Structure 1
Amino acid sequence: MAHGLFNLCHSTRNPLVVEGLDYGETFALVAQLVTVRLILAVASTRHWHLYQRDVNNAFLNGDLDEDVYMNLPPGFGRKWETRVWKLHKSLYELKQAPHQWFIKLSIALKQAGYHQSKADYSLFVQTRGSTFTALLIFVDDIIYKTLKQPKIARSSKGIVLSQCKYALEILEDAGQLGAKPADSPMEQNLSLSKHEGDYIDDPSSYRRLVRKLIYLTITRPDLVCAVHTMSQFMYKPQTPYLEVVHRVLRYVKRAPGQVIFLSTNSPIQLNAFCDVDCARCRDTRRSTTRCCVFLVDSLVSWKTKKQTTVFQSSAEAKYRSMVAACCEITWLQYILQDLGIKHSHAVKLYCDKQVALHIASNPVFHERTKHIEIDCHLVREKVQSGTIKTAHISTLQQPTNIFTKAMSLPQFAILLGKLGIIIIHSNLKGSVEERKIPTKST
């Protein structure tokens, strides 16, 4: 057993507490936000009841695997100065407290008859007769098909996910509440390089703003392109990137109440879109994979990631994006299975590159495919098994373009509509537009 001496008030800064010696695991599983959005979309369609519970004193219930000793707080007198307390339960100051709490809760839920999902270990489901219950664990929040943050509002037409309050807090913290609003997050055809511009004197302010904007993308996929670009230059940010940050803030100022709408009328049918931004990075010439998945009209998942290598052709890069989309589709199908939902129809996977579609369905494209890694042919296996059905889509109608391209305002507005993003607040005071859906808090 490890023996650690830890101070109640200063445990996180105590030099005597050493990872690997005084404590082991500190990681606590939390629900993935994709899982949350998928369950909320299903709940909107199936008219499930939604609840959220915050467990009081959650971390005090965890059992410790190590021997941990605590300095006595002031006031016990001089004769107690050389003595310590041995902890039998975890405390909030302990780094391993969240991990131990999740273990304790998992054991209790399994004993109560809940099944732990293998796709997302923070999801627990139980079926008793005609009653089905799904729980999502978010640190010390137990989510009964809902979430404490971001805010969730519901009406007869669907569910909206909003971070309006958080967006206004970012603007206030950055001093941008009085700034002139911008119509888009980035200028069209903007291309940046790490070799341009002067370095920022105080990079900590840039990093702080980017981190906050990353969290805002939970419900604002329209910010993904700009935030993904800015987050690549956190080490030594330069003035052009700071200007992009300020433009993003001015765009957020235009519509802080922009939300994701999860429709009630959507059947249980997954549709996916994939694309790649070929060699757009001026520094590495690597492409960026982008994909998104809908539950018919409700956006539940989106990803933007720079590819690990420079591919020989755009067809290969596009095909790699189809692989990423297939992996995401397979994972979402596992979650639906845990929720007791049968997804019997083939998932439609849309791509705007005909050659990539032919590679996925035609095994005789030898000259174009012999250099492609074997794991990429996961797409072909899914197509042959009937799990996925590929389809072509026009580049102008490709919704994933919004994740990696700064485009014209008309095209930007069209793609926002395709993503199911609406504005329920017409001003900073939060008044609801008459033409939008009425909402009420759950």
Structure 2
Amino acid sequence: MKKQGYIQGQADCTLFTKFSHDGKVVVLIVYVDDIVLTGDDTVEMARVKEKLAVDFEIKDLGFMRYFLGMEIARSKNGIVVSQQKYIIDLLKETGMSGCRPADTPMDPNAKLWGEGNVSVDTGRYQRLVGKLIYLSHTRPDIAFSVSVVSRFMHSPFEEHLEAVYRILRYLKGNPGKGLFFKKTSEKNVSIFTDADWAGSVTDRRSTSGYCTYVWGNLVTWKSKKQGVVARSSAVGRV
């Protein structure tokens, strides 16, 4: 790909991009034996596919509809990325297909400690939380709650597992929800951030989070426990 004039990503070595003189771009990413190719330079996309077909045995599957557990749907208004099948399979695996849905991914009054009365299977807990972490790629609405339950991966108790089940019950309510990338004339970037104040009952540390919108579309988000104890909730401005 480098010989074809593509630039290899520094954070992800499987990502390659190429910009043309007229401002068009082509993006190519490789995952094992699958390749995703996108961009607005149709001429370059056709050329690189022909070049790859000469060097490798490939098959063009057309527009992407399903990739790594993610479902992609297109319309004239934009693109929707969801993980509905992944969620339904997870509910079947955990025996929660018939559970009653929850309105929120976490009880707002719940305070999880690092200890409990009854311990649970660590391996099973880690597998469940790991799958929820992967679901966070298209479900930013569970990012905070998944961040909380992931703190107890090494020594989970029954209270922590109940919090995981609460997230699954919330997902049961709307398994088809996902990300919508709309066509828009907006050209701005917006960033929102917030933090709870000493939310951890164990060490009094806060959990902060942020989300970034580019041209009106959500592109990045994160929820993470702070590394130090905050002495104030005031936000400085530079």
Please report the TM-score for the alignment, with normalisation by the length of structure 2: 0.81
Partner of 1:115: 7
One-letter amino acid matched to 1:271: S
Does structure 1 residue 152 correspond to structure 2 residue 72?
yes
| Residue of 123, 126, 134 corresponding to 2:18 | 126
CA contact 1:262–1:298 (8 Å) conserved in 2: yes
SS of 1:360's equivalent in the other structure is: coil
Partner of 1:38: none
One-letter amino acid matched to 1:272: I
Structure whose residues are more often helix by fraction: 1
1:288-334 CA distance string (max 9 Å, x none): 1211101142111001111111122222xxxxxxxxxxxxxxxxxxx
SS of 2:190's equivalent in the other structure is: strand
| Count of residue pairs the alignment pairs up | 210
| Residue of 151, 161, 165 corresponding to 2:81 | 161
- The 1-side partners of 2:137 and 2:224 are apart by 16
CA contact 1:266–1:295 (8 Å) conserved in 2: no
SS of 2:211's equivalent in the other structure is: strand
- The 1-side partners of 2:178 and 2:199 are apart by 29
Gaps of 5+ in 2: 39-63
- The 1-side partners of 2:149 and 2:3 are apart by 46
Gaps of 5+ in 1: 1-108, 316-355, 362-442
User: Shift in Å at residue 232 of structure 1?
Assistant: 0.6
Does structure 1 residue 139 correspond to structure 2 residue 139?
no
- The 1-side partners of 2:159 and 2:11 are apart by 41
Partner of 2:47: none
CA 1:223/1:122 → structure 2, altered by over 3 Å: closer, same or farther?
Answer: same
Structure whose residues are more often strand by fraction: 2
User: Shift in Å at residue 244 of structure 1?
Assistant: 1.2
- The 2-side partners of 1:127 and 1:187 are apart by 47
| Larger CA Rg, structure 1 vs 2 | 1
- The 1-side partners of 2:133 and 2:202 are apart by 23
Partner of 2:209: 290
CA-atom RMSD, angstroms? 1.9
- The 1-side partners of 2:78 and 2:205 are apart by 39
- The 2-side partners of 1:115 and 1:273 are apart by 31
- The 2-side partners of 1:208 and 1:293 are apart by 29
CA contact 2:208–2:225 (8 Å) conserved in 1: yes
CA 1:247/1:118 → structure 2, altered by over 3 Å: closer, same or farther?
Answer: closer
Please report the TM-score for the alignment, with normalisation by the length of structure 1: 0.45
- The 2-side partners of 1:235 and 1:252 are apart by 24
CA contact 2:80–2:178 (8 Å) conserved in 1: yes
CA contact 2:211–2:220 (8 Å) conserved in 1: yes
Matched residues, percent identical? Answer: 40
1:9-41 CA distance string (max 9 Å, x none): xxxxxxxxxxxxxxxxxxxxxxxxxxxxxxxxx
1:141-176 CA distance string (max 9 Å, x none): 222136723111110001111100000010000001
User: Shift in Å at residue 233 of structure 1?
Assistant: 0.5
User: Shift in Å at residue 125 of structure 1?
Assistant: 2.1
User: Shift in Å at residue 193 of structure 1?
Assistant: 0.8
Partner of 1:256: 175
- The 2-side partners of 1:154 and 1:257 are apart by 14
Does structure 1 residue 300 correspond to structure 2 residue 208?
no
User: Shift in Å at residue 257 of structure 1?
Assistant: 0.7
Q: How does 1:2-401 map to 2 (within 5 A)?
A: 109-118=1-10, 120-128=12-20, 130=22, 132-145=25-38, 148-149=67-68, 150-200=70-120, 202-315=121-234, 356=235, 359-361=236-238
User: Shift in Å at residue 204 of structure 1?
Assistant: 2.0
CA contact 2:188–2:216 (8 Å) conserved in 1: no
- The 1-side partners of 2:229 and 2:25 are apart by 47
CA contact 1:287–1:307 (8 Å) conserved in 2: yes
